[in-house]
Chains A and B, each alone.
Chain A
Amino acid sequence: MTLVVQVENKPGVLNRVASLFRRRGFNIESLTVGHTEKPGVSRMTIVLDTDEPGALRIEANLYKLVHVQRVENVTATPSVFRDLAMIKVAATPETRAEIMQLAHVFRARIVDVNSESLVIETTGAEDKIDGLVEILRGYGILEMARTGRVAMTRGPRAEASTNASGQDDSLEDESVSYSV
């Protein structure tokens, strides 16, 4: 499941969200946080291993956190999923050209070259990156850093998927029943 969560950028908000997943027994596979187009609002993309009822349960619980503004389950919504990886590969003058060629096939970029290694930067869906990693493994991966998934729904409206009743602009709608 992939959830996109918009939160007020207040001290401790990451802790509040992470703590909720922990105490309700959900395992986070990846979590990314960053700024959004709105000042004071951060966006988290959270990937977790759960089923549909589990996703509904965590969604309802997320809304009980005061700093959570919106939760979207984008798992089944047409979306762009991206992960960024930096991979440091052992590369001798003999293997360098070969590795660079492979990177080129994956549309990855070489961002650092050294007599013993290369740093490859790549962006894409996880399975593409997994494929690259698999190919590079034979050369010796010295170090790897991955950001985890970020997600964005396709099309002009971000929140269309979870608000079928046209309440997608109801951030200020007082008639929506809530419980925090």
Chain B
Amino acid sequence: MKKSGGEIIWECLKREGVKHIFGYPGGAILPAYDALCKYPEIHHVLVRHEQGAAHMADGYARAGGGVGVAIATSGPGATNLVTGIATAMMDSSPIVCITGQVGSKLIGYDAFQETDITGITLPITKHNYLVTRAEDLAPAMREAFWLAKSGRPGPVLIDVTKDAQQASCEFDWDAAEPGHRNRCLAASSTTPQYGDALELINHAKRPVILAGHGILLSGAMGEVCAFAERAQAPVAMTLLGIGSFPASHPLNLGMMGMHGEAWVNTAIQEADLLLAFGMRFDDRVTGNLRTYAPMAKKIHIEIDPAEINKNVKIDVALIGDLREVLRELLPRVDAGNREAWLSRIQELKGDSAVRDIQNLPDDGHLYAAHVVNDLWRETSGDAVVVTDVGQHQMWEAQYYKHDKPRTLITSGGLGTMGFALPAAIGAKFAQPDAEVWVVAGDGGFQMTMAELATISQEKLEIKVAIINNGFLGMVRQWQEFFYERRYKATPLYSPDFVKLAEAFDLRGVAVRRRAEVVPAIREAREHRGTYVINFCVEQEDSVFPMVPAGADLHAMIRRPSPLVETAQDL
């Protein structure tokens, strides 16, 4: 059947099972938008800024496990997507971005709203396409979807010239099926060394599993749990690995790395075997590489061969889909008895629990940790929490206990402020029945708060907890620790977030005391609609423990005890 290029875009999306797309129209993408009139089954969400569209597609993919789709026009529309695409690239999130491009005859002549978006996004996409003929659209679209979700997932961009959208051609879905891409990796890196791995696993006395995002992407939660239980190996999580292993499981250690709990990092440093499951030894996780887990042999199970030996020297690499590799390993893993190791970890925990901010009496101060912990209790840990980037993100990771996969959505690798609100919108579309909470700082929230308008236009129910400390908190913390408290450019004015919510026809409340936290959360949960809570918390509270950038993992800055009061009290 003959279809226009614009129609082919939607026809392909429909057949890929896409129900929601996030976008913003403009001149060069207008033929595609016009064709959308014929596809009422695809719901278009009008965003307020294209960055929001990319984050929404990302949040949609992370919450639902499918591919998220964003669409924008040429030039500024396309460049506004860039931060969202880079975010998805760093966190291996499968999204497809479609951009309009000026007519193919105008390319290279600096036409109005022309930009070389395939050139710009080359390093931040798995692959991208410039489509100048309607005939090439269907194969590009199908291959883009396949690429986005295959192997290590990631973003793919398709730039479609205006004339390619307008032209018509024969549409043949079956003929557009992506051909198998040629791949042959060096033999040494593809032959799985199961025997070597099992030898290390079965002889380890102090193993630690490092649980990463790959577990969620591979759907290997069950296998990881079975493995940990069989081997009696404790599980430490990366930020993006949170939810891949139940927080309430007795073998769960918690988050590792720069703001990981002290016992987690100490356990890693004392381990004799690290089992890295779908994680990439980010610098925020390892600290100083020279002193990282010095006694441990390392087994790396990873789908991307380029991650092997990238940061940490690996003893045994098992390349492949984590779930398949673990299924291969599991039956041959000896049931372990590692009482001595587990009780050593218990011993390490003891010291930290006393220092925990949760154990402080209510002294009139409102700490973000209390807010997050109360939110966890009130929602029974069942909410999908979408965080922004900064201190609140780390407190969320520490104090909200995630038992289920895909319930924490956060920008890990790129650390993109402004991510939370749009990503939460995407998550809500992917999981309409889930209770979706945004946890954002006052800084990051102001970066993309225009998307409150999208929420109102779409009549969405999203709960927003702004952790408002009047500072760009994480930067302020670094200034406090490493720049002698010279708070340059970190004090932050914010609008009245409650009035702001009201301006968007939404409800909100401000909370200043600990006793008000739970009632406000309850009020927000009962309200049928979006609700914004402005938690005005301690201004100069810091995230502890902290491994300074590049320092040894065991050299943590611990929470001062007794707690040092903040500037307002002095």
Count class of interface residues, chain A: 20 to 34
Tell whether, in the assembled complex, residue A60 and residue B187 are in contact, meaning their CB atoms are under 8 Å apart: no
- List residues of chain A with CB within 8 A of the CB of B150: 179-180
* A57 CA / B313 CA spacing, docked (Å): 12
A142 within 8 A of B: no
Known A-B contacts A15-B119, A57-B309, A60-B306; A180 and B186 likewise in contact (beta carbons under 8 Å):
no
Tell whether, in the assembled complex, residue A180 and residue B127 are in contact, meaning their CB atoms are under 8 Å apart: yes
Binary A-proximity of B180-224 (CB < 8 A = 1, otherwise 0): 111111111111000000000000000000000000000000000
Residue among B123, B303, B305 making CB contact with A63, cutoff 8 Å: B305
Binary B-proximity of A54-90 (CB < 8 A = 1, otherwise 0): 0011011101111001100000000000000000000
Residue among B127, B151, B187 making CB contact with A178, cutoff 8 Å: B151
Tell whether, in the assembled complex, residue A179 and residue B123 are in contact, meaning their CB atoms are under 8 Å apart: no
* A19 CA / B127 CA spacing, docked (Å): 13
Known A-B contacts A60-B305, A179-B305, A180-B126; A174 and B180 likewise in contact (beta carbons under 8 Å):
yes
Residue among B188, B310, B320 making CB contact with A177, cutoff 8 Å: B320
Q: What total count of A-B pairs have CB within 8 Å? A: 90
* A165 CA / B185 CA spacing, docked (Å): 11
- List residues of chain A with CB within 8 A of the CB of B130: 11-12
Query: What's the least CB distance linking A67 to chain B, in Å?
Result: 8
A134 within 8 A of B: no
Tell whether, in the assembled complex, residue A176 and residue B190 are in contact, meaning their CB atoms are under 8 Å apart: yes
Query: What's the least CB distance linking A28 to chain B, in Å?
Result: 16
Residue among B123, B127, B320 making CB contact with A66, cutoff 8 Å: B127
* A134 CA / B320 CA spacing, docked (Å): 51
Binary A-proximity of B129-172 (CB < 8 A = 1, otherwise 0): 01000000000000000010011100000000000000000000
Residue among B119, B122, B304, B310 making CB contact with A64, cutoff 8 Å: B304
A167 within 8 A of B: yes
A23 within 8 A of B: yes
- List residues of chain A with CB within 8 A of the CB of B308: 60
B321 within 8 A of A: yes
Tell whether, in the assembled complex, residue A57 and residue B306 are in contact, meaning their CB atoms are under 8 Å apart: yes
Known A-B contacts A16-B122, A19-B123, A177-B321; A63 and B183 likewise in contact (beta carbons under 8 Å):
yes
Known A-B contacts A15-B119, A63-B305; A176 and B126 likewise in contact (beta carbons under 8 Å):
no
Tell whether, in the assembled complex, residue A176 and residue B309 are in contact, meaning their CB atoms are under 8 Å apart: no
Tell whether, in the assembled complex, residue B122 and residue A162 are in contact, meaning their CB atoms are under 8 Å apart: no
- List residues of chain B with CB within 8 A of the CB of A177: 185, 190, 303, 319-321
Tell whether, in the assembled complex, residue A12 and residue B127 are in contact, meaning their CB atoms are under 8 Å apart: no
Contacts A171-B184, A173-B184 aside, 12 further interface pairs with beta carbons under 8 A come to: A15-B119, A15-B122, A19-B123, A53-B309, A64-B304, A69-B182, A162-B187, A176-B184, A176-B185, A177-B185, A180-B127, A180-B181
A-B CB proximity, top 7 nearest: A179-B151, A178-B183, A60-B306, A165-B187, A60-B305, A69-B182, A179-B304
Using CB atoms and an 8 Å cutoff, list the residues of chain B in contact with chain A: 118-119, 122-123, 126-127, 130, 147, 150-152, 180-191, 303-306, 308-310, 319-321
